[in-house]
Structure 1
């Protein structure tokens, strides 16, 4: 007999816009365009990574979920006991499917709700929990449900989207599984309120970040595994950024192919080089010129292969996400595992101000490439350029 009632909802289209440079996955048209560009659906794989951590406790859990790729498929693959309580009537699921599935699932009076997606998915979950609370308060004839508030339900988000500004997600899919394992073993004792954040994707595609708080959800208070809300805005200390840029420029080799990641620190460097930069994308610089701007993951893999065939050195310049510390897996999915492997850890140039590193309060940098073996290879210590001829060694964890 199972002890725990878990809910599971997967947004199967979460994150598909990232690797093909669409900078999001919201909206049916964006998803169609992403699929036309050859995007892969990875949300189920990431949910499987998380839930695999619970296999030793398989006989203690029953899941309530949605049909097919919204949850049932991976639960069947992993061998968990589950009950389907929502069926979508469309082939390409929409936000309304996430909302309705959550509303159906939470009527089972769960112990915890698990969902995989991005910030848009988190908004849908929060909206559904709010609507469920209103409905149960006004309509329920069951005294048990009438006195139960779905808005107090603990949730754990499995990161699968392009945009992960919200604090309701675990740092990695494996981290989500660890949080759930701690719940089962009794190690979790506290909950905290975490913000559900999202941005304007149209503005995001134009290089502007407009983040807004939409709601809050209750999450386990395990900061080791649950991520902080992203810090928005550009670095303000231009003198420090100028020193960092001067150090990188001094070492640049015109014969090398430079892959320039996203973020305001790299944006400043590109400005010092005299280039227009794709602030929230990935650009390729070769022999002092922008060869390809806002490149997709597939196109970047092909360009890297060409460079390797011609013995052209590869250098990847990236920064970390402020407040979270992610190097890979948040907003830069164009940097695929194949690209990162080709470059090699020794040729990854991380640049950041010391203030940005100090804001992590001792937490390590994070990598979440979607490839567990690669994440392990990237773990350890990495040198971060924090000024002119100034380096800081920082721990990296997958």
Structure 2
């Protein structure tokens, strides 16, 4: 029997800045602030969800993983017997990801399964280029790259198919990243760093995020007019991130945190750039609605760039109080694919399976399929 080697790398701090509103964890100071704000590691659990899918074939593969919280702990919790690659470190740094990935390539791994965000993808690309196929487990705040599966379990399913030597197309997918400091100032400057090989399964792999669509300005203008017209007194409106929600704030004459979450009541700003704890505090005992848009090209409404609106927030607000806005062009760009929800809470995700209304202009709404991942 042909034993294949699987590399398994976990960035243990990926995604910690999301719920606390820091829009990433690049840099030691930002990580320190995230921890002070109550952030906790989420990447390990997402990595385990992917690795669990491979339990049925664990005797047929050789698992190579990073030390301690870079994969060793998760693998052993799931009763794998991994080979540990790279020396133990007192504190994780992105260079550790590069070291482990480099050693895995030198040990002739057949596939690398890694958990993180765009920064992690960059680290791995820096040392392996397109020498070895990879599949990313989405665990970061910023996920613009095309090397990621659309959900941790999807990453495990792709790895399973590949390791069982099913015929999958190998595509070169984009490694993208943005300047986090500029991101926190409301500027999105995404840059292409290169391409990595990915075993491709269309329904399981995330599309690269697309930018604004030409001609959608008039639609967003009408959408914002309708949203403002329908705003109820003494109700909290949690306004999600993105350029599609910005016209609402502009028409209200309110400052807008383009890449963060704001809260409006009686058409006045009561809190800006809030994190998950802030939102939970404000909605306690109050009625609220959530206004979110669709990430172009990908279709996510929760779980990408708006992790502050967590599964716990969604549960308290209620699915019936969620307003989705998007131009017709943005919905059409999805080519009939569903809108996606990935809050990290399976129960909340499953609440969304079915169809929901999407406000597409001042006068029109569309009915679109939604899928919880």
The CA distance in 1 between the partners of 2:41 and 2:85, in whole Å, is: 23
* Distance apart, 1:345 and its partner CA: 1.0
Structure 1 residue 3 corresponds to structure 2 residue 3? yes
Provide Cα deviations, 1:123-165, integer angstroms capped at 9, x if missing partner: 00000114xxxxxxxxxxxxxxxxxxxx231100001111000
Could you say which residue in structure 2 is the equivalent of 1:363? 337
User: How far apart, CA to CA, are the structure 1 residues paired with 2:51 and 2:89?
Assistant: 26
Residue 128 of structure 1: SS of its match in structure 2?
A: helix
In the alignment, which of 368, 374, 377 is matched to residue 351 of structure 2?
Answer: 377
Cα offsets for 1:335-359 (capped at 9, x unmatched): 1111011111111100000100111
Q: 1:257 aligns with which of 225, 236, 239?
A: 236
Gaps of 5+ in 1: 131-150, 308-312
1-structure distance, mates of 2:252, 2:58: 55
Q: Secondary structure of 2:244's partner?
A: helix
Change (3 A) 1:284 1:188: farther
CA contact (8 A) 2:20 2:39 kept: yes
Matched residue SS, 1:264: coil
TM-superposed CA distance for 1:89, in Å, is: 2.5
Contact 2:22 / 2:30 at 8 angstroms: preserved in 1? yes
Secondary structure at the aligned position of 2:53 is classed as helix
CA distance in 1, matches of 2:250, 2:155: 38
Q: Trace 1:325-364 onto structure 2 (pairs within 5 A).
A: 325-364=299-338
Aligned equivalent of 1:105? 104
Preserved CA contact (<8 Å) 1:315 1:347: yes
1:146-295 matched pairs, under 5 angstroms: 151-233=130-212, 236-295=215-274
| 1:319 aligns to 2:293 (yes or no) | yes
Alpha-carbon distance between aligned partners in 1 of 2:355 and 2:164, rounded to the nearest angstrom = 31
User: Residues 370 and 235 (structure 1 numbering): CA distance in 2 closer, same or farther, change over 3 Å?
Assistant: farther
Q: Tell me the distance in 2 between the aligned counterparts of 1:360 and 1:191.
A: 22
Counterpart for residue 31 of structure 1: 31
Structure 2 match to 1:391: 365
Tell me, yes or no, if structure 1 residue 72 matches structure 2 residue 40: no
For 2:259 and 2:72, locate their aligned partners in 1 and report how far apart those are by CA, in whole Å: 34
Cα distance change, pair 52–2 in 1 and its aligned pair in 2 (3 A): farther
- Give yes or no for contact 1:209–1:233 (8 Å, CA) kept in 2: no
> What RMSD over aligned residues (CA atoms) do the two structures have, in Å?
1.4
Q: Flag the 1:188–1:32 CA change in 2: closer, same or farther, 3 A.
A: farther
Q: Are 2:288 and 1:305 equivalent residues in the alignment?
A: no
Where does structure 2 lack aligned partners over 5 or more consecutive residues? none
Change over 3 Å in CA distance of 1:235–1:79 after alignment to 2: farther
TM-score by length of 2: 0.97
Structure 1 segment 59-98 matched on structure 2, within 5 A: 59-91=59-91, 93-98=92-97
**Structure 2 residue 132 is matched with structure 1 residue 124:** no
Any idea what SS the aligned residue of 2:84 has?
A: strand
How far the C-alpha of 1:2 sits from its partner, in A, is 7.2
Please state how far the C-alpha of 1:235 moved relative to its aligned partner.
6.2
Matched residue of 2:270: which SS? strand
Q: Cα distance, 1:113 vs. partner?
A: 0.3
Quote the offset at 1:237 in angstroms. 2.8
Q: What corresponds to 1:147 in structure 2?
A: none
CA distance in 1 between counterparts of 2:5 and 2:51 reads 14
The structure number with the bigger radius of gyration is 1
Q: Distance in 2 between matches of 1:78 and 1:188?
A: 27
Q: Please say if residues 213 and 330 of structure 2, whose CA atoms lie closer than 8 Å, have aligned partners that are also in contact.
A: no
Distance 1:355 1:384 in 2: 12
Q: Find the counterpart in structure 2 of residue 139 from structure 1.
A: none
